[in-house]
Amino acid sequence: MNLKAQLESLLFVSIKPLSLKELVTALNVKAKEAETALEELAADYERAESGLALIKNNNQYQLTTHEKHAALVKDFLKTETSGELSQPSLEALTIIAYRGPISKLELEKIRGINCSLIIRNLLMRGLIEEKFEKTKQENFYTVSLDFVRFLGLHKISELPDYEKLHRAEEINEALVDQIIELASSVND
């Protein structure tokens, strides 16, 4: 397969910068090969006058919008982050509030869909925070202090039924009950 295309795919779906080591490990290639392909990819974006750019900082890489479109992107994101939250975003935010810290994989398992864009939007709005756990080599998400403050709470555990819903078993039982209820209403 085309190494540049593989790198581009990983950088596109990542919501955070990726280190050379992460990219090399994910693709099982040599560091020099990956560096060369990343340099070529960055040059491709410049030559094509693309709306995207590949940036490198401290051996970390991220696919971003090109600086010449900064005003356009800023205006667009301003409206995107100031409007109402979508139903899927509210669901994800609720799950993060009650189950946090929670990994993206756990969130997607509960919701049954890819949550990359939802997480990105919630991060941009400052409603959730991302923390990397070294022992598990994974990012975990929790609600932000701004979110707690916005709800007028002193701590997240003041949410209704927090203790009951924070435990995994209770959530799983509630999800099973909802699925059974939904299935029976469809069959009626």
Q: Where are the alpha helices (DSSP H) in the chain?
A: 3-13, 20-27, 31-47, 70-82, 87-99, 104-111, 116-124, 145-150, 162-166, 168-187
Residue ranges, CATH 1.10.10.10, the chain: 3-68, 80-163
Q: What is the pLDDT of residues 58-87, one digit of tens each?
A: 888 988 888 888 888 777 766 655 667 888
Answer yes or no: CATH 1.10.10.10 is held by domain 80-163: yes
Average pLDDT, the chain: 83
What is the number of other CB atoms lying within 10 angstroms of the CB of residue 137? Answer: 9
CATH number at 3-68: 1.10.10.10
User: Does residue 1 register a pLDDT over 80?
Assistant: no
More reliable by pLDDT, 58 or 31: 31
Give the pLDDT mean for 19-39.
93
More reliable by pLDDT, 184 or 99: 99
Q: What is the pLDDT of residues 124-163, one digit of tens each?
A: 888 999 998 888 888 899 999 888 887 888 888 888 888 8
So what's the pLDDT on residue 119?
92
Global confidence as pTM:
0.54
